[in-house]
Amino acid sequence: MAQAAERDLEALVAISSPSSDLQAAEQIVAVASAMAPAGAAVERLASSTPEHAPDLLITVGGPGERRILLVGHLDTVVGHEDFISARRSGSHLIGSGTYDMKGGDAIALALLAALAGREELGEAALLLVNDEEWRTGPFVHAPRFAGFDACLCFEGGQRDEGGADAVVVKRKAAVALRVSARGRAAHSGSAPERGANALIALAEVARIVDGCSDPDGPERLTAIPTQMEAGVALNVVPPSGELVCDLRADRIEAFDAVEAAIPARVGEVAIEVARDRQWPGMDSGAAAAPVLAAASEALGRPVVAGARGGASDASHFASSIPLTIDGLGPCGGHSHHPDEYVEMPLTGRCEVALAVADAILKSP
C-alpha cells in the first residue's frame, strides 16, 4: 500500500488543481481514474458547486455485506501562479496539496485496492470531490451513501502529545457568515453628511461579531471577522460593502445567537446576513472507540481519537453514517503554504488506515 500511495501521491501533486479550474480538474480526475483498482467501477457525479467539474466515484465490491465509504478531495486552494511542484527534503515530500489533501487521496486509493474482494466486503466506494476548498452551496452527496456501515475520510493525519497515531472523530461546526451593507454615496469632501457610510456600519458589525466569541464557553464558539471590502473611490462615502466572518462551534445552532446580535440597520445603512460554506458538527467518538481499540490491538501500538477545529466533508456524512472517522491521511502540515509537506514514508499511516478498515469489516 505504501509503495503504491507514494507513487500515486507524486503523480497527483504534479498536477496543479485549484478549485473552479475545469481543465485542471479534468486532468487530475483522469489521473486518479487511472489509479483505480482493476475491475473497479468509475463514475462521475454532479458537483455540489455549479460550474465545477463533476466529482469522481470509484467503487469496488466483494461477496460480503459491509459497505464502507472513503472520502477525499482533489482540489487545492493554491492557484497556478503559486503552485509548488513536489520535491523531497529529508523525510518530507514538499509540494502544493501534499497534506491538503492529495496525500490522503493516495492512501485512500491504495486502501481501496486492498479492500477489493475481501470476503466481508459488499462495497467500498471512494468519493473524490473537486469543490471542497471553495464550495458555496449545500453538499449534495450525503443521501446517496446513507446507511453505509462506515465513512473514512482522508484529510491530513496527526499525532497526540505522546507521539501516538491519531485520527479525527470530533470536528466543530463551521459557517462563513456574509454580511452585506447598503448605504448611500456622497462626496466625502464637500457633502459627507449626505452619505450613509457602509464601511463604518460594517466595522460596527465586525465589533459585534467579535464580541460574540466565547472559545471557553459551553459551545466553544469562535466568531472571527476575517475579510471586509467597501468603498468605490478615495473621495466617495462608501455606499456598499461586504464583511465575511468565520464562525466555529461544537453545534451549528450556536451560530443563531451571532446572527441575532447583528442589527438590521446601523444608522441609515441597511444590513443583510447570509450563510455560506456551512458544515455541521461531528462527534463520532463513541461509535469509533471499539474500532480504534481493535485497530490498536492489531497494530500493537495505539491509534487514538482526536479532535480538530477545521471543517471537513466527513461532517456532512456523520449524521447519516454514525461511524465516521477522519484524519486518516499522512502526517504533515503547512496547508495552503509554499512549504506544505507530508512525512515520508507513508507506511505507518497506511497501516493505520488498513487496521481501521479491517476492524470495521470484522466488527460484529
Specify the pLDDT at position 205. Answer: 98
Specify the pLDDT at position 134. Answer: 87
- Count of residues for the chain? 364
Render 250-269 in DSSP notation, one character per residue.
Answer: SSGGGHHHHHHHS-SEETTE
User: Measuring CA to CA, which residue among 148, 114, 152 is closest to residue 37?
Assistant: 114
Q: Are residues 17 and 146 in the same domain?
A: yes
Q: Are residues 206 and 305 in the same domain?
A: no
- Domain boundary among the residues 219, 253, 279 is at 279
Domain harbouring 182, CATH code: 3.30.70.360
> How many other CB atoms sit within 10 Å of the CB of residue 217?
11
Residue type, 72: G
> How many other CB atoms sit within 10 Å of the CB of residue 272?
12
- Domain boundary among the residues 251, 279, 307 is at 279
Specify the pLDDT at position 136. Answer: 78
Burial track 234-262 (b if 16+ CB lie within 10 A, e otherwise): eeebbbbbebbbbbbbbbbebbeebbeeb
Specify the pLDDT at position 1. Answer: 97
The tens digit of pLDDT for each residue in 232-285 reads 999 999 999 999 999 999 999 999 999 999 999 999 999 999 998 889 999 999
* Those residues with Cβ within 8 angstroms of residue 69's Cβ, 6 or more apart along the chain or in another chain: 124, 125, 127, 145, 148, 150, 151, 152, 317, 321
Residue 90 domain boundaries: 2-172+281-362
Strands across the sheet containing 324-325: 41-45, 55-61, 121-129, 66-73, 150-153, 324-325
Q: Are residues 142 and 258 in the same domain?
A: no
Residue 52's Cβ-count burial label (10 Å; 0-12, 13-18, 19+) is: buried
Q: Are residues 103 and 252 in the same domain?
A: no
- Domain boundary among the residues 233, 259, 279 is at 279
CA 281-44-110 angle, 5° bins: 70
Specify the pLDDT at position 6. Answer: 97
Q: Are residues 41 and 113 in the same domain?
A: yes
Q: What are phi and psi of 9, to 5 degrees?
A: -60, -45
Strands 165-171, 158-159: pairing kind: antiparallel
Burial track 159-187 (b if 16+ CB lie within 10 A, e otherwise): eeeeeebbbbbbbbbbbbbbbebbbebbe
Q: Are residues 312 and 267 in the same domain?
A: no
Q: Are residues 150 and 34 in the same domain?
A: yes
Render 96-118 in DSSP notation, one character per residue.
Answer: TTIIIIIHHHHHHHHHHHHHTT-
Biggest alpha carbon distance in the chain? 80
Specify the pLDDT at position 218. Answer: 95
Specify the pLDDT at position 314. Answer: 97
Strands across the sheet containing 87-89: 87-89, 92-94, 341-343, 332-333
The cell for 87 is: 520535491
Contact 60, 39 (CB under 8 A): yes
Q: Strands (DSSP E) along the chain, which ranges?
A: 41-45, 55-61, 66-73, 87-89, 92-94, 121-129, 150-153, 158-159, 165-171, 173-182, 222-230, 240-249, 265-266, 269-279, 282-283, 303-308, 324-325, 332-333, 341-343
Domain harbouring 130, CATH code: 3.40.630.10
- What SS3 state is found at 206? helix
**Per-10-residue mean pLDDT, the chain, length 364:** 97 96 98 97 96 96 97 96 95 97 98 97 98 90 97 97 97 96 98 98 98 96 98 97 97 96 98 92 96 98 94 94 98 94 98 98 94
Number of domains in the chain: 2
Q: Are residues 269 and 322 in the same domain?
A: no
CA 23-327-362 angle, 5° bins: 110
Q: Are residues 15 and 163 in the same domain?
A: yes
Q: Are residues 183 and 164 in the same domain?
A: no
Q: Are residues 140 and 26 in the same domain?
A: yes
Specify the pLDDT at position 310. Answer: 80
Q: Are residues 51 and 158 in the same domain?
A: yes
* Those residues with Cβ within 8 angstroms of residue 219's Cβ, 6 or more apart along the chain or in another chain: 249, 250, 251, 254
